[in-house]
Amino acid sequence: MVKAATAPRARHAARASIPRPQTFPMTSFHCIQAHSGGRQTGELSLHTHEEGLLFMLTGGLIHVETERQAWCASPGHLGWIAPGVPHRAQWHGVAGGIFLYLHPRHCAPLPAAAAAVRLTPLAEALMRRLLALRQGCAAADWAPDFASDATLEAVPGPDATGSARIAALIELLLGELQDGLPAALPGLPLPRSAALQALAQAFLAAPDSADDLPQWARRARMSASTLQRRFKAETGLSPSHWRQRARLMRAQELLAGGASVTAAAMHVGYGNVSAFIEAFARHFGTTPGQYLQAGATPARHAETGENERRVPDPQP
């Protein structure tokens, strides 16, 4: 899991955009195919894009973290990051996919944040078609900083007919994203206040922690009832629901990176593998083993908020 930078560092890092070609083609998009070069894990530090980014993975898993939430995208998801949104990312497993950068003028109808939705067959076909229309289809090595201009080749200038066709394809793709937003991956909401951010980031760094609510409250220098109230106000989840979702998200990353079900369970604090399997199945609608067999794509997304079915936190 990615550790959040302090606020001053985050503001500084957010000013640095990954280099992009300065001249947009007539249709104002460029599309690349990238892979992790065989590396099982890697990290992209805090950065922004001048463009909007749509992506679909063909392997592995990506953990994306913005100021307000974190979520994981795997094959079967269509990811979206709005122009100018500071974010960091990690990949797990031998990752690869198709990444479509859109000029900001195409992005007005879309959320001004980040989201992941279910990838429909039409959206996948459109992403592959837009990739095929760019010049040169050789996969680029996915460098850890992902900052090489050499990997960002723009589509060659099309004629008027080609430009109209590409615009129509992009319009269809954006429609697929908009249609999927009501059922978007809920992700893991992150607290806003410094005290609760510190608690959350400490837990994300050590998801096997057995600290209970009173211990969290003492560390935050507030009463347990105040912590409970403030945490839910800032994230929409109680601390116990939030911790379970954080554990399962981390387990998802570990499984995508090649960990066994038992190893993933132990790493996120479940001493009982059966309890872990039950929690995972209730959250994702599939067991960890089925998740791996299906190519690391959950059968469904968890419900949001307190209506989510929950098993108790693992016992130490």
How far is 309 from 123, CA to CA, in rounded Å? 30
CA angle 188, 3, 152 (to 5 degrees): 85
Q: What mean pLDDT comes out for the span 115-140?
A: 78
CB 165 within 8 A of CB 173: no
Tokens of 44: 């992209």
Average pLDDT, the chain: 77
Q: Identify which of 169, 171, 147, 311 has the alpha carbon closest to the alpha carbon of residue 243.
A: 311
**What pLDDT shows up at residue 274?**
96
How far is 96 from 139, CA to CA, in rounded Å? 9
**What pLDDT shows up at residue 249?**
94
Tokens of 71: 């979520």
Q: Which domains does the chain have, with CATH numbers?
A: 7-18+27-183 (2.60.120.280), 190-307 (1.10.10.60)
**What pLDDT shows up at residue 25?**
42
Residue with tokens 């001048």: 50
Residue with tokens 């806003």: 192
The confidence band for 285, taking pLDDT boundaries of 50, 70 and 90, is confident
Kind and range of the H or E run holding 162? helix 160-180
290: amino acid identity, one letter = Q
The residue that leads in pLDDT, 44 or 237, is 237
pLDDT digits (tens, 9 = 90+) for 24-48: 343 456 777 776 666 667 788 899 9
pLDDT exceeding 90 applies to what percent of the chain?
41
**What pLDDT shows up at residue 135?**
47
Using the predicted structure, report yes or no on whether residue 266 has a pLDDT greater than 80. Answer: yes
Beta-strand pair 52-65/114-118: unpaired
**What pLDDT shows up at residue 127?**
92
**What pLDDT shows up at residue 1?**
39
**What pLDDT shows up at residue 16?**
36
Q: Which residues of 216-239 are buried (b: 16+ CB within 10 A; e: fewer)?
A: bbeebebebeebbebbbebbebbb
The confidence band for 270, taking pLDDT boundaries of 50, 70 and 90, is very high
User: Model-level pTM greater than 0.85?
Assistant: no
Q: What mean pLDDT comes out for the span 87-113?
A: 87
The residue that leads in pLDDT, 105 or 33, is 105
**3-state class (DSSP) for residue 197:** helix
**What pLDDT shows up at residue 4?**
34
pLDDT digits (tens, 9 = 90+) for 148-178: 333 333 333 443 445 778 888 888 999 999 8
Using the predicted structure, report yes or no on whether residue 267 has a pLDDT greater than 60. Answer: yes
Burial class of 121 by CB neighbour count within 10 A (0 to 12, 13 to 18, 19+): exposed
